[in-house]
Structure 1
Amino acid sequence: MRRSNDEARCRFITIAASFLCLAVAIGSSIVTGDIEGPTRELRIRQVITNLTVTCFVMGFGIGPLFLAPLSEIFGRKPIYCISMFFYFIFTLPSALAHVAGTLIVPRMIAGLAASAPMCNVGGTIADVWETENRGAPMGIFSGTIFLGPCVGPIIGGWIGQRAGWRWIYWVLFIFVGATFLFTLVMPETLAPVLLKKKAARLRKETGDPMYRTLEELEKKPFKEVVVIALLRPFIMLFTEPIIICMTVYLSFVYALLYLLFFAFPIAFAEIRHFSLGITGTTFVSIMIGIIGALCLIPVQEMVYKRATTQGDYPEARLFPMMFGAPILPIALFIFAWTGAYAHVHWIAPLIAGVLFGFAMLALYVSANSYIIDSYSAYAASAIAAKTFLRSEVGAVVPVFVTPMFHNMKFQWAGFLLAMISVLIAPIPYIFFMYGERVRRRSKKATKAVKGGGEGREKKGEV
C-alpha cells in the first residue's frame, strides 16, 4: 500500500510539474496567433512586435543560469512558487499596453521568471523516479514542452480573430494565475533539502543538536556555494562534450519549432490565404506527430529495459534519438518543396508537420534523458546549460525568419534547414558508440558502463 501511495505521489508531482511547463510553453507562442494585431493598433513595425516572442524566449535562456542552481540550494518548491508568481504578474502589463515598451519589456521579465519550470522539472523528475522508471515521466515532461508551443497558436489564432490581440494576453494571464496555485500544493522533492528539514525537526523534538545532515557538517560559506552554483552551468556548457553536442542538436530543433510559428503563416495565410484561426489550426499537424511519438514511449521503455538487463547506462536512452534523426530532414525537405507553392495541396506541408512533430519529440526526449542520466548529480545545472543556448538560439528566430523565407524564397530557405539537419544527424550515433569513453573522462558525468558497474563519482566540484 505504501509503495502504491509513493507511486501516486510521484505521478502527481510529475503531472503538476509538467503542467507548469505547459503554461510556460503556451505563453511563449500564444501571442503569434495575432502577431500583426499590436503592430496595427500601436503603430509600430512588425519586427518590434516579433520581439514579444524573442524577449520571452530569451528569458528562458538567461533565467535557468541562476534559477536552476538556486533550486539545488534552496529546493525546487520555493523557486517554482516565486517563478510562477512573477510570470503571472508580468503578463498583465502586456494586456494593458499602449506603447511598445510596455508590451515588450514585461515579456522579457515574464520569460525570465517562467524559465524555472523549463529547467527544473527535469531535476524534479530525477528526484522522485528511479533511473529505470524515468523514461515515461520524461516523455510527459518533454511532451508538454513541445505540445504547449503548438497549442499556443491554435488558441491565439481563434482569440485574435474573434476578440482581438489583447484578449490573448488576458487569457494567458488567467491561465498562469490558475497554474500558480499548483506550486502551492506541490511537495518539495530535493533530497538534501528534505533531509535538512528532517534533521531540524528531530533536533526540535529531541533537543539533541547532534542530528545533522552531511551537507550541514561539511557546510561551505553561503557566498561560495552560490558562486559555485551559478558558475556550474557555464562551466558544464563549455567543458562537457555530451552537453555541448546535445545542446547544439536540441538548439537547432528548438529553433525549428519557433521558426515554424512564422513559416506556417507564410505557407498557409500568405500563400494559400487561410484565415488566422484556420492557420493556427494547422499546428494540429505537429501535435499529431508529438502525440504519435508519445504513444511509442512504452516501446522505448521496453527497448531500454532490454538493453539494460545487466545494468543501467545512459547510452541506452539514445535509441529514439537515432530513430528520429533521419526523419527530421525528411520532414524539412517535404515542407520546403510543398509549402512554397499554392497549387500543391495543403495536406502535403501538414504531413511534413506530422513528421516534424514526431522527430522533434523523439529527439528531445531521448537527448534530455541522456543528459539527465549522464549528469544525475547535477541534473538541474546540466539542463540549465542546455536550456541557455537552446533558448537564445530560439529567441533570435523571430528576428530573421520572415526576411529569410521571403528573400531566399520559401523552398530554398527550407532546403537550407533540411541540409543542416542532415549534417548534425550523426551526433546520436557517435555518442551511442563512444559516449562511455567521453563520460569516463568527465569529473561530473556518471561512470556507469554497459553490462553493469559504475566508477566512483566525484561530487561537489565546479
Structure 2
Amino acid sequence: MSTEPLEAEFAQLPALSKEEPSPSPTGTLTRVGSLAEAGYVVGFEPGKGEDPKEWGPARKWYITMTTSFLCLAVTLGSSMITGDLISPVHDLGTTQEIVNLSVTCFVIGFGIGPLVFAPLSEVVGRRPIYMISMFFYFIFTLPSALAKNAATLVVARQLAGLAASAPMCNVGGSVTDIWPIEQRGIPMAMFSATIFMGPCLGPLFGGWIGQYAGWRWIYWVLFIFTGLCFVLTLFIPETLASVILRRKAATLRKSTGDDKYQSLSDMNRVPFVQTLKVALLRPLVMLFMEPVVLFMSFYLSFVYSLLYLLFFAFPIAFAEVRGFSAGITGVTFLSIIIGISIALALIPFQEKLYKRATKFGGFPEARLFPMLLGAITLPIALFIFAFTGGYAWVNFMGPCVAGALFGFSMILLYVAANSYIVDSYSDYAASAIAAKTLLRSLIGAAVPLYVDQMFHNMGFQYAGLLLALVAIVIAPIPFVFYIYGERIRMRSEKSSKNRRRVEGEVGEKV
C-alpha cells in the first residue's frame, strides 16, 4: 500500500537534485545550462542543512506532529458540533435542517478550498498558507459561538470550512518535503490517522461538552483549540524546497548586486493564473473523462458519506432508541476508531503483499488487494447496523460491532483506492486526487440534509438496508478494475501504462 498521504498533494522535488526533472523547452535548457556553468543557478549545498531532507530528526518530527495537529483541528471541527445539534434549534428559533447546514457548509469547504490553496502553496510556500488558513479558521469560528440567529451560524461555518481546508491538502506535501521516501511510512501513518480518527473523536468530545456546558461551548472549545493551532503555525519553518531556494537566490542577488543568481523554480515558473486554471479545470475534466477517477471517486464518496451519516445515525440508535446520554453516545464512536486502528495495523502486511505481486514490475492494480476485502466487509457492516441499531431490545454491542467493521472497511477501501488513483495517474495525481476530493466533499456534505428524514420516515431498519444494498451493488467496482483496469488505462492518454509482468518478461515502465 502506498505510503503517500491519503489526501495526496505532491510537493515539488528539490531543485538541482538527482530527482529534479529537466526543463523541457529548448531555450530554457540552454539558458539553465549556461547559467549553471557560470555558477549562477542556486542549489542546496550538501551537508549544510539547507535541504529540508537533511534536517535533524527532532526538527522533522516537530514539523510532522505540528502539521498533523492542524489536520486534527480541522477534522475535529467538521464533526465536533454534531455532539449537540438539537439545542441550537430551540435557542435560535430555527429548524433542524437549517442547523444541520452548519455541518454541510463546513464539509463543502473541504472540496472547494484545496483547489485554490494547493496551487497557491506551490507559489508562496507551505508556512504562509498554514498561517493564513488557521488564522481565518480561528476568526470565523468565533461568530458561531456568538450567533444570535441561524444565518450567522451557517455563514460562519461555510467561511470556516473554506479557511480550514488548507491543512487537508498541504500537510501531506510538508511531510514529503522533509522525509526521504524510505523513512516516510510512520510520518504518513500519523498524518493519515488524524484524517480518519479526527471526525470520530469530534462527537466524543462534543457530546460531553454539549451535555454539561451547552452547545455554544462546543464552539468556544473549538475556538480556543484553533487559536492554539494558529500560534503553532508561527513556529513552523518553511519546508518547500523551491521557495527556500528562491529566497536564497534573492539573498545572493541582494548581497552581491548580481541579478543573474536564480533558482531553477524561478527560471521555470508558471504564471499563477495558469496554475490556478489547471487546478480548477483539470480535475473536472478527469472526473468525467477518466473511468478510474470517476468510479473510484464515486465509491470513495459513498464511503465518506457513510462516515458523516453515522454522525447522525448513531445518536438515533443510541440516544433515541436506547436512551443513552449525549456523552455516552459520543463514546460509541470509539468503536469506529477501533476498526480504523486494526486496519492501519494491517498496512505493513499489505506492503509485503504488494512487493510479492510486483516482484517482476509494478502495476497499479496491485494496490487493490485491500479494497477487494473492504468491498466485502462494508455491506456486512451495514447489514449488522441495519438489523441491530433500531431495536432497543438488541444489545448495544450490535451497532458498535457494525461501527468497528465499518471503520475497518473504510480504511481498506480508502487507502487502497487512493493509492490506485495515484499510481494510475502519477503525472496528474494532484488533479486526480483533487477531483476525488471535490466529489467526495460535495456528496458527504449533502448527508446532513436528508439523513434524519431518511431514518425516521423509512424506518431505521429499511434505511440501513438501503445503504447495505447500495454497498452490494457497487462492490464489484474494485474487482472489475483489478481484472480489466490495465485495459482501461491503456486507452487513456494520462494514465500509467505499466503492465503486469511475469517471470522473464521485461519492459519499460511509463
Native 8 Å contact 2:123 2:272 kept in 1: no
In the alignment, structure 1 residue 408 sits paired with structure 2 residue 462: no
- What CA distance in whole angstroms lies between the structure 2 residues aligned with 1:441 and 1:333? 38
Match of 1:350 among 371, 396, 400: 400
- What CA distance in whole angstroms lies between the structure 2 residues aligned with 1:437 and 1:7? 44
Answer with 121-130 or 147-156: which moved more: 121-130
Query: Partner residue of 2:35?
Result: none
TM-score normalised by structure 1 residue count: 0.90
Query: Partner residue of 1:27?
Result: 77
In the alignment, structure 1 residue 325 sits paired with structure 2 residue 388: no
Deviation string 1:104-151 (CA, Å, 9 cap, x unpaired) is 110000011111122233444444455566555444333211211111
- What CA distance in whole angstroms lies between the structure 2 residues aligned with 1:446 and 1:79? 31
TM-score normalised by structure 2 residue count: 0.82
Query: Partner residue of 1:460?
Result: none
SS, match of residue 91 in structure 1: helix
| Structure with greater proportional helix content | 1
SS, match of residue 234 in structure 2: helix
Answer with 138-147 or 444-453: which moved more: 444-453
Deviation string 1:408-435 (CA, Å, 9 cap, x unpaired) is 1111111111111112222223333344
- What aligned pairs does 1:139-154 form with structure 2 within 5 A after superposition? 139-154=189-204
The one-letter amino acid of 2:318's match is F
1:219 is displaced (CA, Å) by 4.0
- What CA distance in whole angstroms lies between the structure 2 residues aligned with 1:248 and 1:89? 34
The one-letter amino acid of 2:153's match is L
Distance 1:177 1:317, change over 3 A: farther
In the alignment, structure 1 residue 369 sits paired with structure 2 residue 422: no
1:239 is displaced (CA, Å) by 2.7
1:249 is displaced (CA, Å) by 1.0
Equivalent residues, number: 456
Answer with 291-300 or 20-29: which moved more: 291-300
Native 8 Å contact 1:68 1:384 kept in 2: no
Answer with 424-433 or 256-265: which moved more: 424-433
1:204 is displaced (CA, Å) by 4.3
- What aligned pairs does 1:417-436 form with structure 2 within 5 A after superposition? 417-436=467-486
Native 8 Å contact 1:142 1:361 kept in 2: no
1:343 is displaced (CA, Å) by 1.0
Answer with 209-218 or 281-290: which moved more: 209-218
- What CA distance in whole angstroms lies between the structure 2 residues aligned with 1:454 and 1:126? 26
- What CA distance in whole angstroms lies between the structure 1 residues aligned with 2:316 and 2:426? 42
Query: Partner residue of 2:87?
Result: 37
In the alignment, structure 1 residue 92 sits paired with structure 2 residue 142: yes
In the alignment, structure 1 residue 392 sits paired with structure 2 residue 442: yes
Native 8 Å contact 1:122 1:379 kept in 2: no
Query: Partner residue of 2:109?
Result: 59
Query: Partner residue of 1:180?
Result: 230
- What aligned pairs does 1:220-299 form with structure 2 within 5 A after superposition? 220-299=270-349
Distance 1:76 1:285, change over 3 A: same
Deviation string 1:278-320 (CA, Å, 9 cap, x unpaired) is 1111111111111111222222233233334445443333222
Deviation string 1:15-68 (CA, Å, 9 cap, x unpaired) is 333222211111011111011111121121111111111111111122122222
SS, match of residue 147 in structure 2: coil
Structure 2 segments unaligned to the other structure (5+ residues): 1-46
Q: Which has the larger radius of gyration?
A: 2
The one-letter amino acid of 1:155's match is F
SS, match of residue 326 in structure 1: helix
Native 8 Å contact 1:142 1:365 kept in 2: no
Instruction: Say what the alpha-carbon RMSD is for the aligned residues.
Output: 2.6
Distance 1:454 1:424, change over 3 A: farther
Match of 1:83 among 110, 133, 147: 133
- What CA distance in whole angstroms lies between the structure 2 residues aligned with 1:335 and 1:20? 32
SS, match of residue 35 in structure 1: coil
Over the matched positions of the two proteins, sequence identity in percent amounts to: 64
- What CA distance in whole angstroms lies between the structure 2 residues aligned with 1:249 and 1:116? 24
Match of 2:121 among 61, 68, 71: 71
Query: Partner residue of 1:459?
Result: none
Native 8 Å contact 1:122 1:383 kept in 2: no
Distance 1:430 1:190, change over 3 A: farther
Structure 1 segments unaligned to the other structure (5+ residues): 457-462
Native 8 Å contact 1:16 1:182 kept in 2: yes
SS, match of residue 50 in structure 1: helix
- What CA distance in whole angstroms lies between the structure 2 residues aligned with 1:442 and 1:127? 30
The one-letter amino acid of 1:371's match is I
Native 8 Å contact 1:447 1:454 kept in 2: no
1:215 is displaced (CA, Å) by 4.2
SS, match of residue 345 in structure 1: coil
Native 8 Å contact 2:379 2:472 kept in 1: yes
- What CA distance in whole angstroms lies between the structure 1 residues aligned with 2:231 and 2:423? 30
- What CA distance in whole angstroms lies between the structure 1 residues aligned with 2:110 and 2:348? 30
Answer with 108-117 or 419-428: which moved more: 419-428
Native 8 Å contact 1:69 1:230 kept in 2: no
Distance 1:438 1:33, change over 3 A: same
Distance 1:314 1:180, change over 3 A: farther
